[in-house]
Structure 1
Amino acid sequence: MPTISMFYGILVSMYTLDTQKHHLPHIHVRYNEYKIVLAIPNGEILEGQLPNRQMKLLQAWIELHQDELMADWFLASSGQTPFKIDPLR
């Protein structure tokens, strides 16, 4: 699972060929012991949880990088490695 971005202890990943379970474009996020799966480009929670502060940071990052996330999803869903996306600064 390639990590496509990291910021403030938040790791954002996207699996290649990961279309079976959630059936929607999505990202996997880890922060300490928390794991969450979010739909893209809207940030809807599909599974898991994250502390409120980190969730707000992540939602801001998703908002800024919607187009890049969707482009990465199309790459990953066809078996290609997604590109890195700039972290939140």
Structure 2
Amino acid sequence: MGELTRFDNVRIYMNYMDTDRHQEPHFHIELSDGKEASISIATGKILAGRIDNRTHKIIIAWILIHKEELWDRWNKAVSGKNFGKIPPKINL
């Protein structure tokens, strides 16, 4: 598992070689209150888990800002390669 970024109460990460469960390019988020979700890179759709609407909207905005970087990190992660962090670039 590799952390992509942190901001506000959100930690965003990807798992290496993570293609079996969701079968769709995605990342994971963990909130400070313990809630977790898997989010589609392509659509921002919640694939698993639950998060509040406000946080989901923030995550979608973050995806739009970092879409290219997310695809780059996904391709590296599923190949088992190390990937770097992505700056938050979002003020809450």
**TM-score of the aligned structures, taking structure 2 as reference length:** 0.91
In 2: Cα distance, 1:51 partner to 1:79 partner: 31
Match of 2:18 in 1: 18
Superposed CA deviations along residues 21-41 of structure 1, whole A, max 9, x for unmatched, are 111110000112210001112
> Which residue of 2 is the match for residue 47 of structure 1?
48
1: distance between equivalents of 2:3 and 2:68?
A: 17
Q: Any stretches of 5+ residues in structure 1 without a counterpart?
A: none
Sequence identity of aligned pairs in percent?
Answer: 34
1:66 offset after TM fit, Å?
0.6
Q: Kindly provide the CA deviation profile for residues 35-80 of structure 1, in whole angstroms up to 9, marking residues without a partner as x.
A: 0001112211110111121111111001111110000000000001
What is the RMSD of the two structures over their aligned residues, measured on CA atoms? 0.9
Task: Name the counterpart of 2:8.
Answer: 8
Structure 2: runs of 5+ lacking an equivalent: none
TM-score (normalised: structure 1) = 0.94
Match of 1:86 in 2: 87
Size of the alignment, in residue pairs? Answer: 89
* Alpha carbons 1:72, 1:82 under 8 Å: kept: yes
Q: What does residue 27 of structure 1 align with?
A: 27
Aligned-partner SS, 2:76? helix
